[in-house]
Amino acid sequence: MKKTPTFGTPAAGPAVVTAVVLALAAAPQASAQDVCKRTIDLNAANSEYAEQHVLDVGDVAGHQIRIFEIHRTYPEVEANCEGLKQTETRSHGYSDYIDRSGRAWGYNVDTLENGDKIYSQFSGTSHTVINPDGVRKSTYIGTATYTGGTGIYQGIRGTSRATIIFDPEANLNVGKLDLEYWLEN
């Protein structure tokens, strides 16, 4: 009776094992080269709360739900990994806060100079503290997941991490984004 060789045994041959090992070792390096990593500073002068609607819940003092639109422009941003500059972002979101602390989530539409758009969904939490001088400081920390786009960004995937200082009453929204994305076919 003839034995059928199995993978991993000497009968499979060193050439087959070597080819598989080389293919597996090369795969992570190829995809790692395609990941775009960037940091974007979000300037307060280039953002505004375009629209806000706030409702008092009435169960606990300071409990409010809010829907909002933030419009942000990028007059001085560097080109991304594809050589395109981002021109604007429109964020549409919701928050559920008690004294401006709680969770927020929503959607972003980023527009690039060639008209392509990038879509993402964000989620995070906000925390507000009152400084010794009586001034409130609110910080949002969250992530966004890229869900698609138009043009070359149809297959975009990845995430961004945001740290944002905000004050809706003062129309303040400033911070930093750390982005990591790649384009799938």
Give the model confidence (pLDDT) of 59-95 as tens digits: 999 999 999 999 999 998 899 999 999 999 999 999 9
pTM of the model: 0.79
Q: Mind listing the domains of the chain with CATH numbers?
A: 36-183 (2.40.350.10)
In percent, the amount of the chain with pLDDT more than 70 equals 82
> Residues 156, 110, 185, CA angle at the centre, nearest 5°?
15
Instruction: Give me the pLDDT at residue 94, please.
Output: 97
The structure tokens listed for 158 are 């990845």
Count of Cβ atoms closer than 10 Å to residue 23 Cβ: 9
Average pLDDT over every residue of 130-153: 95
pLDDT tens for each residue of 40-50: 999 888 999 99
Strands of the sheet containing 172-183, edge to edge, are: 36-42, 172-183, 156-167, 136-149, 117-130, 101-112, 86-98, 63-73, 47-56
Instruction: Give me the pLDDT at residue 30, please.
Output: 36
Average pLDDT over every residue of 156-168: 95
Q: What is the mean pLDDT of the chain?
A: 86
Instruction: Give me the pLDDT at residue 128, please.
Output: 96
Cα dihedral across residues 143, 145, 146, 147: positive or negative: negative
Residue 5 pLDDT exceeds 90? no
Residue indicated by tokens 């933030």: 70
Instruction: Give me the pLDDT at residue 185, please.
Output: 73
Which DSSP category does 12 fall into? G
